[in-house]
Structure 1
Amino acid sequence: MLHRFSISRMDLLVGAVNAVIVLTWTLAQWVLHVRDTPGLNEELAWVMMFVSVVALFFRSAFPFTVALVTMVCTIVYYPASSTDGPMLMAFVIALYTLAALGRICAAGVIAGLVFLIVVVSEYLADFAHMTASETLMLSGWIIAVPAIGAVVAHYRRYRAETEVALAETQKRSVAEERLRIARELHDAVGHHLSLINVQTSAALRKLRKDPLYRTEETLQVIAETSHSSLRELRAMVGVLREPGEDSPTGPGPSLEQLPLLVDAARASGLEVDLRVDGRAALPVAVDAAAYRVVQESLTNVLRHAKAQRVQIKVVTGTSTLAVAVIDDGAGDAKGAKGAGNGLTGMRERAESLGGTFDAGPRDDGGFSVEATWPLEVDR
């Protein structure tokens, strides 16, 4: 608990400035014999002044206590002293500090109490120390001090809440970006690696049956697939580089690249029927999401469905884009239940852009994936 008694640099500075002004001003008036009205007890007045000066050094650690102490010292000082110095300054600073630190109600109560004491005492003394207008002006300033402190407290609270909100937004943005990168890696690289795995597995089976089997065509497909995978990886690395750095760039995923995707799947022995109905300028995010859904669907077919034939439909309407991937495989949703199949990522790609997603086994066998997007999105 000792840290609560430490004096911050700002408190030290404010306390020192207050001490210099109050003591210097009061001593100068005393030496020059500048007197107001005779004081009731000069020794008590000096004690109150020193207590008030010392207490202000701890205004941030004990704001309420310091405000009460300086209030009492101020109320006692002026009747007890014949020197009308700037003793009130310590109380004003303490009252402002109390309000600025969020103790607005306490500051208001103290200010109202002092207001009543000043007005009532001067009225009973027939305004012997100050005129009626000076009394009201002084009382008004005392009321205004906690109001100013309340404005500062609200600003500090607003700034703190804004900083917290910005920090949360940054954390959320980082999490979303990590999720996006994970989806891109899963969909792009995972698809190409699945094709390579299918091709190599098929080639190994054929080599076991026929040692003279020629693998040039299979190796060519593997080379092209790996080249596509490397190109997409370079594009991702380019996005992750700092701005201004030289980085390889390339076109983003798009439905225009579907023929290449279909050719790669056909090279793996899968019969693919691609049907495109309608064309329109698609939002970049929707175009990329639709391509990734088709790509991941083909990956799941190759890995899980044991299908012979796949039908891909792309329909572009006046307000929506719809894609469907339907296979004639086992249709037991094995791919949908297995870990790492990408269905969660596909659903996120659709729903994050205001679209819909549905996937599951068909009644007549096989598996279907359907997704739609609006052609107008916010991002």
Structure 2
Amino acid sequence: MAEQEARADGPSAWGGPPVWGGPSAWGGPPWRRRHGGGPPWWNRPDGDEPRSRLPWRSTLLLTVFVLVGSNAAAGFQTDERAALDPFARVLLLVGALQLLWRWRYPVAVAFGTATTAMVYLGAGYPYGPVFLTVAVGCFNAIVAGHRRAAWTAMGALWAGHVLVAHWLYRWLPPGGDDAASWGQEVAVVTWGVAIVALSELARTRREQWARERAERAQAARRRADEERLRIARELHDVLAHSISVINVQAGVGLALLDSDPEQARTALTTIKAASKEALGEVRQVLDTLRTPGDAPRTPAPGLDRLPELVEQAASAGLTVEIEGEAPPRLPPGADLAAFRIVQEALTNVVRHSGSRHARVRLGHGGGELRLRIDDDGPATGDDAGGGGNGLVGMRERAAALGGTIEAGPRADGGFRVLAVLPVRASREVEEDR
């Protein structure tokens, strides 16, 4: 009950066709529509769980690029750095292949690629695409949320480069090498800062996309819950009213079947009409489930059908007196809610009150529609007025439009249902939709 009322507080398209799915990024790029935010390679099917597949294709392309690019770079640094030998190629291959596990073990890959690159540079091999493996490994670690680990790996690589280029170069290949210029260190630092900045930007965007996906999923669940409650209320209101009329008329028919066959025939005719109307309304509700998004085949009932309610109540032995008039142009949602509230209140009079007379008073003003349904009692059971889903449904309908419902015994022994529905506010809400 508390959960249903909390869900009913939000705006919902009561009285309209079900809305399955949400108004998210249907106008955006195709990958945004299909994958719920973010490019397809960005989204993990299981939230933040590691991906089950290894990135073979991207790693293979990176490996080929690193090997070919390092050969090309070596051609421009023949007099400055050591030539590429089998050990250098093994280091390049190991550094690139570590990227296969960058989704499963981002921290280990970040430190592994940095260590491999440090050994490669310490051995005096040419500068080049070897830094790309470090960039990809640290980028993935930062995006995955391991920021400190990635920063530490890049900081360790830079510190190792400073140590080799300005102190250990005397004992490391190539022979006769001089200390590197500090301008080169500025370039290395700039490269590292650019990688970190790009990675942080990507991480922020990934978190934003994750939040958007979670919000869309939550909104879809909320709409599904609201639609489920709406359909449950519609079915309850339709079936409770019609079956109450059928039950009363069936009792009359059985009682008069032998003594007054003509009156029994009238009761059976009323049962037939009530059941036909109930089937029609139930079919309309079910049609919205079979064809979501389509307009209903028949308009939703409103206060213009009050005479039908009076007629049905009269067939069940209840005299209904209508006082006042509804506003000429009610929003569909408010019109349906008002009709269902009156219908449920009269059904409760038939089922739970000993009175055979009820009064329905309509009033409006100040942007509000006021409904008051009274009967003179006495109650025929402990659940006078309806203590089950009927009053719950009325309260939810009113709450969905920002209105209120008061229901309870009167001081003189009868029962009263008082509903206040904000017509102006509900119209604005529906127009926004």
**TM-score (normalised: structure 2):** 0.76
SS in 2 for 1:306: coil
Please list, as runs of the form range in 1=range in 2, the aligned pairs for 1:265-284 lying within 5 A after superposition: 265-277=313-325, 279-284=327-332
Partner of 2:420: 372
Partner of 2:225: 175
- The residue identity in structure 1 corresponding to 2:229 is L
Deviations 1:131-167 (A, max 9, x none): 5444322321122212222222222222223222222
Is the Cα contact below 8 Å between 2:253 and 2:263 reproduced in 1? no
Larger Rg: 1
Partner of 1:239: 288
Counterpart pick for 1:145 among 195, 199, 217:
195
Q: Provide closer, same or farther for how the CA distance between residues 92 and 194 of structure 1 changes in structure 2, counting only shifts above 3 A.
A: same
Partner of 1:255: 303
Counterpart pick for 1:227 among 253, 276, 288:
276
Counterpart pick for 2:65 among 21, 30, 53:
21
Q: Provide closer, same or farther for how the CA distance between residues 337 and 141 of structure 1 changes in structure 2, counting only shifts above 3 A.
A: farther
Q: Does 1:88 align with 2:136?
A: no
Is the Cα contact below 8 Å between 1:111 and 1:142 reproduced in 2? yes
Structure 2 distance, partners of 1:341, 1:92, is: 62
Counterpart pick for 1:64 among 95, 107, 111:
107
Q: Provide closer, same or farther for how the CA distance between residues 326 and 338 of structure 1 changes in structure 2, counting only shifts above 3 A.
A: closer
Partner of 2:256: 206
- The residue identity in structure 1 corresponding to 2:131 is L
Partner of 1:217: 266
Deviations 1:292-346 (A, max 9, x none): 0110011111111121211111112231101111111124773358664511101
Tell which deviates more after alignment, 318-327 or 106-115: 106-115
Structure 1 distance, partners of 2:57, 2:371, is: 70
Structure 1 distance, partners of 2:210, 2:64, is: 34
Is the Cα contact below 8 Å between 2:253 and 2:265 reproduced in 1? no
Partner of 1:350: 398
Please tell me the root mean square deviation across aligned C-alpha atoms, in Å: 3.3
Structure 1 distance, partners of 2:199, 2:281, is: 58
- The residue identity in structure 2 corresponding to 1:16 is L
Deviation at residue 220 of structure 1 after TM alignment: 3.0
Deviation at residue 260 of structure 1 after TM alignment: 1.4
Structure 1 distance, partners of 2:199, 2:154, is: 12
**TM-score (normalised: structure 1):** 0.85
Q: Which segments of 5 or more consecutive residues in structure 1 lack a partner in the other structure?
A: none
Is the Cα contact below 8 Å between 2:360 and 2:371 reproduced in 1? yes
Deviation at residue 77 of structure 1 after TM alignment: 1.8
Structure 1 distance, partners of 2:263, 2:86, is: 113
Deviation at residue 249 of structure 1 after TM alignment: 2.0
Deviation at residue 266 of structure 1 after TM alignment: 1.6
Deviations 1:110-139 (A, max 9, x none): 323434444565566799465544432232
Structure with larger RCO (C-alpha < 8 A, sep 6+): 2
SS in 1 for 2:405: strand
Structure 1 distance, partners of 2:70, 2:389, is: 83
Is the Cα contact below 8 Å between 1:300 and 1:341 reproduced in 2? no
Structure 2 distance, partners of 1:13, 1:368, is: 72
Is the Cα contact below 8 Å between 1:48 and 1:73 reproduced in 2? yes
- The residue identity in structure 1 corresponding to 2:219 is T
Q: Provide closer, same or farther for how the CA distance between residues 244 and 175 of structure 1 changes in structure 2, counting only shifts above 3 A.
A: closer
Structure 1 distance, partners of 2:264, 2:275, is: 16
Structure 1 distance, partners of 2:340, 2:196, is: 60
Is the Cα contact below 8 Å between 1:305 and 1:335 reproduced in 2? no
Is the Cα contact below 8 Å between 1:111 and 1:146 reproduced in 2? no
